[in-house]
């Protein structure tokens, strides 16, 4: 074919294939032949004005599900009112200092709560397998329109970085405000207002009521008070599987050498990014897998109360930390929480999470110091006499992690680690460090909803949404679910009067 026929070339996807010793950079292009490539129009941030809209949607939570639900409401002509227990992202930054330097948790403003949700200061990874659940490309393009780097449009595993995400989040908030939506921070929900079986709004700790025509409940997986409120008021909940375990940390140079198949000590080629990995196996009908792998990242404290220690991972956009960390977790099924079910019912998984977090707090000894153990000592079931360096700023303390978690979890982690070490020599070197505990991988509870209307089966106009409701597993999938719920609100308005009235509990405002 003559080169003159090519009218344009556009890079659409970039990925790394390191499965073989010869590492390949794979590029996929769109090529125009004889006709011009169609122009990619940028996503507009000029949303239609809803200042005079007669329809108001109350959105509880300003994470990705809540923010993208709000943006979709604007497109549909409805006024979104976001109520968020935490602070705006600028003020939230300052509230991270006490947990890092003093071991003191500000319980409504931390790594989990506040504008942008848990993802804002937890890496900003966007990869999702939820291709059939909505317009993933539009989510990415919307983020770019609000300041995210354009590389997320072509990278196979897109990532923004915890240093860049706050500006993106602030820009999204400004789009919501410019169009006539509202975002109210420091507004913690205490009560769901229901009238004649229809959710009409929420009450908050300051005594205010925020009323609308529907409620999208997008609180995230750490809003345990919301689960307790729903449970205590007889509103239907369900247990669901989740996962818990540890964070495993290595020198990034070690992971680079393992993934790219070159001897330790050789410099990584400049055209290759810092390496990541994904490991998974099954041990006696329970999955053991890596989770939220953060190349060139840091382990961070993600507790939301002062009587617990929780660890998570994050990376900055450059991913230039000398450490790599990943969750290493075991699937927890509802039957694994049987000891808690007689007293706590469907909240048993949440109570199990909390118990392990309290154990970590006691083992750490003070503040947010975390218990830790070398991976090889975890396998040999002995205390680590010394610990390698770590990125975890509050500090670590040697402890027998193998004794702190249930035996069935220890056994599966040990077998999983052994298998991973066989697949990747040196993965279990003396530099591999385990830090406890990774407990907030996903919600242990699902707030049920109708498959078609997306409304709670017992309360019309209540739309459980995102990761906290059990329908998403990260920033991108939560954003997609927020969009779906906003669209379901639009679809559901004409049908509210045709649905049955159900009494939902003695303490719900009716």
* pLDDT for residue 510 is more than 80: no
Residue, of 352 and 44, whose pLDDT is higher: 352
Strands (E), 341-456: 370-374, 396-398, 433-438, 445-446
Cα separation of 290 and 424, whole Å?
14
For residue 432, give the nearest of 294, 214, 251 by alpha carbon.
251
* pLDDT for residue 134 is more than 60: no
Q: CB count, 10 Å around CB of 94?
A: 11
Phi, psi of 322 (to 5 degrees): -75, 5
Residue 473: partners with Cβ closer than 8 Å, 6 or more residues away = 128, 442, 467
Residue 508: partners with Cβ closer than 8 Å, 6 or more residues away = 191, 192, 194, 233, 235
For residue 224, give the nearest of 64, 348, 371, 97 by alpha carbon.
348
Strand bridging mode 79-83 / 56-60: parallel
Q: Which of 1-5, 135-139, 425-429 has the lowest mean pLDDT?
A: 1-5
User: Do 68 and 82 form a contact (C-beta atoms < 8 A)?
Assistant: no
- The predicted structure's pLDDT at residue 265: 87
Q: Which of 64-73, 130-139, 321-330, 331-340 has the lowest mean pLDDT?
A: 130-139
* pLDDT for residue 200 is more than 90: yes
Q: Which of 21-35, 349-363, 496-510 has the lowest mean pLDDT?
A: 496-510
- The predicted structure's pLDDT at residue 494: 45
Cα separation of 53 and 73, whole Å?
11
Cα separation of 409 and 385, whole Å?
23
Average pLDDT over residues 454-466: 97
Cα separation of 166 and 316, whole Å?
12
Q: What DSSP line would sit under 251-312, residue for residue?
A: EHHHHHHHHHT--TTSPPPTTSPPP----EEEETTEEEEEEEEETTEEEEE--SSTT---EE
User: Do 170 and 89 form a contact (C-beta atoms < 8 A)?
Assistant: yes
* pLDDT for residue 507 is more than 70: no
For residue 305, give the nearest of 368, 395, 231 by alpha carbon.
368
Degrees to nearest 5, angle at CA 35 with 31 and 36:
70
> Could you identify the residue written with the tokens 């019309």?
460
* pLDDT for residue 462 is more than 50: yes
Mean pLDDT of the chain: 92
User: Do 464 and 223 form a contact (C-beta atoms < 8 A)?
Assistant: no
In whole angstroms, how far apart are CA 143 and each of 30, 33, 40, 44, 112? 22, 31, 15, 11, 20
For residue 228, give the nearest of 108, 340, 351, 117 by alpha carbon.
351
Strands (E), 431-501: 433-438, 445-446, 462-464
Residue, of 204 and 44, whose pLDDT is higher: 204
* pLDDT for residue 313 is more than 90: yes
* pLDDT for residue 108 is more than 90: yes
Residue 468: partners with Cβ closer than 8 Å, 6 or more residues away = 61, 65, 217, 218, 219, 220, 221, 222, 223, 226, 443, 447
Average pLDDT over residues 125-141: 72
Domains of the chain in start order, with CATH, are 3-33 (no CATH), 56-237+447-498 (3.50.50.60), 239-438 (no CATH)
Q: Which of 50-59, 99-108, 120-129, 421-430 has the lowest mean pLDDT?
A: 120-129
How does DSSP classify residue 337?
G
Structure tokens, 133 = 């659940």
> Could you identify the residue written with the tokens 């947010």?
368
Average pLDDT over residues 55-64: 97
* pLDDT for residue 496 is more than 50: no
3-state SS of 393-412 is CCCEEECCHHHHCCHHHHHH
**Cβ-based burial of 496 (10 A; exposed 0-12, middle 13-18, buried ≥19):** middle
Cα separation of 321 and 314, whole Å?
10
Cα separation of 412 and 326, whole Å?
17
* pLDDT for residue 425 is more than 90: no
Structure tokens, 301 = 């404290």
* pLDDT for residue 276 is more than 70: yes
* pLDDT for residue 145 is more than 90: yes
CA atoms within 13 A on the CB side of 391: 27
Length of the chain in terms of residues written: 510
How does DSSP classify residue 384?
-
Beta-bridged to residue 280, according to DSSP, are 289
Structure tokens, 509 = 């405002």
206-241 pLDDT, tens digit each: 999 999 999 999 999 999 999 999 999 999 999 999
Using a pLDDT cut of 70, give the percent of the chain over it: 94
């Amino acid at each position: 074919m003559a080169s003159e026929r090519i009218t344009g070339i556009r890079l659409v996807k970039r990925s790394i294939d390191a499965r073989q010793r010869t590492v390949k950079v794979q590029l996929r292009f769109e090529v125009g032949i004889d006709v011009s490539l169609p122009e990619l129009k940028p996503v507009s941030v000029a949303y239609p004005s809803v200042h005079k809209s007669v329809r108001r949607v109350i959105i509880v939570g300003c994470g990705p599900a809540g923010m993208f639900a709000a943006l979709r409401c604007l497109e549909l002509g409805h006024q979104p009112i976001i109520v968020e227990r935490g602070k705006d992202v600028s003020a939230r930054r300052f509230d991270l200092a006490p947990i890092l330097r003093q071991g003191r948790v500000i319980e409504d403003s931390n790594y989990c709560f506040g504008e942008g949700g848990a993802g804002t200061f937890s890496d900003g990874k966007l990869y999702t397998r939820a291709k059939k659940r909505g317009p993933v490309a539009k989510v990415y393009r919307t983020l770019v329109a609000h300041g995210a780097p354009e590389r997320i449009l072509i990278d196979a595993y897109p990532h923004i970085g915890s240093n860049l995400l706050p500006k993106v989040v602030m820009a999204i908030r400004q789009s919501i405000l410019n169009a006539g939506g509202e975002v109210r921070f420091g507004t913690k929900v205490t009560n769901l207002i229901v009238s004649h079986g229809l959710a009409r709004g929420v009450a908050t700790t300051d005594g205010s009521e925020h009323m609308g025509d529907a409620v999208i409940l997008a609180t995230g997986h750490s809003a345990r008070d919301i689960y307790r409120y729903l449970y205590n008021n007889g509103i239907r909940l369900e247990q669901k599987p989740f996962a818990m375990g540890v964070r495993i940390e290595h020198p990034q140079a070690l992971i680079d050498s393992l993934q790219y198949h070159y001897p330790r000590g050789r410099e990584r080629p400049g055209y290759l990014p810092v390496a990541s990995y994904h490991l998974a196996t099954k041990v006696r009908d329970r999955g053991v897998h890596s989770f939220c792998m953060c190349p060139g990242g840091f382990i961070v404290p993600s507790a939301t109360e002062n009587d617990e220690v929780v660890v998570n991972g994050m990376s900055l956009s450059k991913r230039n930390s000398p450490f790599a960390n990943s969750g290493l977790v075991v699937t927890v099924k509802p039957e694994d929480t049987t000891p808690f079910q007689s007293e706590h019912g469907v909240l048993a998984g949440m109570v199990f999470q909390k118990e392990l977090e309290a154990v970590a707090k006691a083992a750490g000894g003070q503040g947010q110091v975390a218990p830790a153990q070398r991976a090889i000592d975890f396998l040999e079931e002995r205390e680590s006499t010394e610990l390698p360096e770590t990125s975890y700023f509050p500090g670590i303390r040697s402890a027998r992690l193998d004794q702190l978690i249930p035996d069935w979890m220890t056994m599966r982690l040990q077998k999983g680690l052994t298998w991973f070490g066989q697949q990747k020599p040196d993965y279990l070197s003396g530099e591999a460090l385990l830090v406890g505990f990774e407990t907030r991988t996903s919600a242990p509870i699902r707030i049920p909803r109708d498959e078609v209307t997306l409304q709670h089966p017992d309360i019309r106009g209540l739309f459980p949404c995102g990761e906290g409701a059990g329908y998403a597993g990260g920033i991108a999938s939560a954003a997609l679910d927020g969009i779906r719920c906003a669209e379901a609100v639009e679809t559901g308005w004409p049908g509210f009067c045709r649905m049955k009235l159900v009494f939902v509990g003695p303490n719900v405002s009716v």
